[in-house]
Structure 1
Amino acid sequence: MPAPTPPRRVTIVDVARHAQVSTTAVSKVLRGAYGASPEMRAKVRRAIEELGYRPLAAARGLRGRTYTVGVMLPDIRNPFFPEVLDGITARLAATEYQVFLGTGCNGEAAEARVTEAMIDRGMDGLVLIAPVSSRGHLERVAAAVPTVVVGRHGRSDAYDTVVDDDVLGARLVVSHLVGLGHRRIAHIEHHDTDPTRVAEMPNSLRADGYRRAMREFGLVDDIVSTSYTHQGGYDGARELLARVEVPTAIFAGADIVAMGVLQALDEAGLSVPHHISLAGYDNTAFAALSPISLTSVDQAGRQIGDNAARLLLERVEDRGKGTEQVKLEPGLVVRRSTGVPAG
């Protein structure tokens, strides 16, 4: 028995016939171009829905846009980044744009592969979340396609940026812990030696904010350098617990780091905040879970994503506009993981 003939793909000609309009009219509606009346747009949209017409992305790209946005995440395991993504998708929900994800794996080579693949596929714009690539690479990407960078504090004439005031966020944590009576406050940071990233990345600015706040209160800083991962938090806490004088409070540079700290404390038979107070950064969804109840800095991930998508849409419409940096002010959400020092 011969194989059944696959159904023919619906074309713009089919839509025009069904709506009883010209193919030019259908094209105008698809492109959102001037010259199509509300009545014509309604007829064409109805025909598209009834026929199940899907325009080829490649063909749309040849006409100027693919209505796709690429979002690069550094690590899909960090629960903060999906909150930024939620803000991006919510802003784009009322548009024709669809979001495609790629992971940079916290490495320059992987980031280059992801961004180049997105550019090669004709995406209309990119949102790069906490990229570790050099300024030169980011500016080459932005020269090829409208780009918004999230989490890099340096300004550029090539791309827009959205950041949190990480120095202030760190100070909020230290001030809170000092107010509870803590004097031995340790910080677990993400280790980096690249001069540009040290000047621009959130982890470096949080560590700098911690140092400044500790000096302001007349205290000695105590920093352990690992990574912004669960394992990094676990290793950092193990190092701190091995000391003769253990800190009474730990400021983890990210909530995912705090989860590793909690594991290490539990294995050591210590509880939070009875033995050691713990604060994180990001105010992710699990920080509010009752068994965890983590004091954490809220940097409004959804608001960051919303601003990033807004800036990208504006950049797509006007490549010549001046670049903009949006800096959001964080707040501290106090929960049960912090309390007065033991003893």
Structure 2
Amino acid sequence: MAREAGVSVSAVSKVLRDAYGVSAEMRDKVQGAIEGLGYRPRTGARSMRGRTFTVGVLLSDIRSPFAPEIVEGVQAEFEGSAYQVVLGPGGPTPDRQQRSIETLIDSNVDGLVLIAPNVPTARLEELADIVPVVVIARHGRGRNYDSVVDDDAMGAALMVEHLADLGHRRICHISHPMGELRRPSVLSHTARADGYVAAMLERGLEPDVVTTSYTEDGGYRGALEALGRANPPTAVFAGADIAALGVLRAASERGLRVPEDLTVTGYDNTNVSAVPQISLTTIDQSGTLTGSVSARLLRERLEGRDAPVSYSVTPKLVERNTSAPPPAS
């Protein structure tokens, strides 16, 4: 193909990977050769690769306390095998994530596990033509890649049910920006917010979504906004445990007791949520199970499976000490 296009082999590789620094002229030459030769990237790209027994894991958000639990599950599944796990720190933007992915591919990893990537769906399909890919926390089935997701709508409904049964009617949900993705191929936070809205409407309650970020500061800012209203919520359901920690900080600054004055809940059931001093009511989606299933699916791909598989983790409510009925007043 490089001879047909009149460019180098590395240039062809860059175009196939949609790498940075590729001129429009070079891209046109390679695309013309692809069409002229009837080239199929999946077969060609994989047949040219040698096995390195390394697996790349993209950490889209290195600040997330949930990501390390996924990595633990991946490593546990590969324990005792010849495979080694290579971590690639990504970032909040598609560009930064793509650069990290390209670095992993340039390292000749045999497969990729992408945790919450917000790169375009078309790009995910292209990546899966180069190496086997398993995508975590991205809803919507892929044609070429496998996916592992939490049933976020169910998890959000479980939390709304728990809070409504306690007597709460003003339940605020703190979410994360949707970004440029569109349904059905969205990340877990969007599916989680959708599930919250549907569950609230089903019970005749008015949804109240504050969009900040899945960070401690994001939860703090979202809680200050909600609690500063004339008619503030009696419960704040943060879409991630890390954001719930920020809600707890905001409640403390405002002199509110949890759960006597304000109920605070999260999502993920990270290790910190079980610390006695925090004891956060949350939704468990088993990060280690997510990681181990992802690694198993990747191994199946490496052993020859081509048909895409989508696996859904069943969430469960973990009730602790930060949720209680609303104040009588």
Using structure 1 for the length normalisation, give the TM-score: 0.80
Q: Give distance in 1, aligned partners of 2:231 and 2:153.
A: 27
Instruction: Indicate how the Cα distance of structure 1 residues 215 and 249 shifts in structure 2: closer, same or farther if over 3 A, else same.
Output: same
Q: Which residue does the alignment assign to 2:271?
A: 285
Deviations 1:227-260 (A, max 9, x none): 1111110110010111001100010000011011
In the TM superposition, 1:320-331 aligns within 5 A as 321-331=306-316
Instruction: Identify if the C-alpha distance between structure 1 residues 82 and 294 changes in structure 2 by more than 3 Å, giving closer, same or farther.
Output: same
Whether 1:76 aligns to 2:62 is yes
The one of 167, 191, 209 aligned to 1:223: 209
Amino acid corresponding to residue 297 of structure 2 in structure 1: L
Aligned residues: 282
Aligned equivalent of 1:85: 71
**Is the 1:72–1:128 contact (alpha carbons within 8 Å) kept by the matching residues of 2?**
yes
Residues 149 and 177 of structure 1: CA distance in aligned 2, closer, same or farther (over 3 Å)? same
Report if aligned partners of 2:112, 2:131 keep a CA contact under 8 Å in 1: yes
8 Å CA contact 2:139, 2:184 repeated in 1: no
Q: Does 1:183 align with 2:169?
A: yes
Where does 1:65-214 land on structure 2 (aligned, <5 Å)?
65-196=51-182, 199-214=185-200
Q: Is the 8 A contact 2:175 2:193 kept in 1?
A: yes
Residue number in structure 2 paired with 1:57: none
Is the Cα–Cα contact under 8 Å of residues 140 and 184 in structure 2 kept in the other structure?
no
CA distance in 1 between partners of 2:101 and 2:179 (Å): 24
What SS does structure 2 have at the residue aligned with 1:313? Answer: helix
**In the alignment, is the contact (CA less than 8 A) between 1:115 and 1:141 conserved in 2?**
no
* Partner Cα distance (1:109, 1:88) in 2: 25
2:324 is aligned to 339
Distance 1:198 1:105, change over 3 A: farther
For residues 3-30 of structure 1, what are the alpha-carbon distances to aligned partners after superposition, in whole Å with 9 as ceiling and x for unaligned? Answer: xxxxxxxxxxxxxxxxxxxxxxxxxxxx
Any idea what SS the aligned residue of 1:224 has? strand
Query: Structure 1: 5+ residue runs without aligned partners?
Result: 1-61
Partner residue in 2 for 1:16: none
CA contact 2:144–2:306 (8 Å) conserved in 1? no
- Report how far residue 198 of structure 1 moved: 6.9
In structure 2, C-alpha distance between the alignment counterparts of 1:195 and 1:87, rounded to whole Å: 27
Give the C-alpha shift of residue 197 in structure 1.
6.0
Q: Aligned to 1:269, which of 249, 255, 274?
A: 255
Q: TM-score, normalised by structure 2?
A: 0.83
Q: CA deviation at 1:194?
A: 2.2
Q: Any conservation in 1 of the 2:110–2:132 contact (CA below 8 Å)?
A: yes
Q: Percent same amino acid among aligned pairs?
A: 49
Aligned counterpart, 1:314: 300
Amino acid at match of 1:140: E
CA–CA separation in structure 2 for the residues paired with 1:136 and 1:321: 18
Deviation of residue 63 (structure 1)? Answer: 8.3
- State the match for 1:59 in structure 2: none
Aligned CA distance change for structure 1 residues 196 and 172 (closer, same or farther; 3 Å): same
Q: Distance in 2 between matches of 1:63 and 1:269?
A: 60
How far has the Cα of 1:64 moved from its partner? Answer: 2.3
- Report the counterpart of residue 56 of structure 1 in structure 2: none
> 5+ unaligned residues in a row in structure 2: which ranges?
1-47
- The Cα shift of 1:196 comes to 2.1
Query: CA RMSD, aligned part only?
Result: 1.5
Instruction: Tell whether the 8 Å contact from 1:148 to 1:159 is kept in structure 2 after alignment.
Output: yes
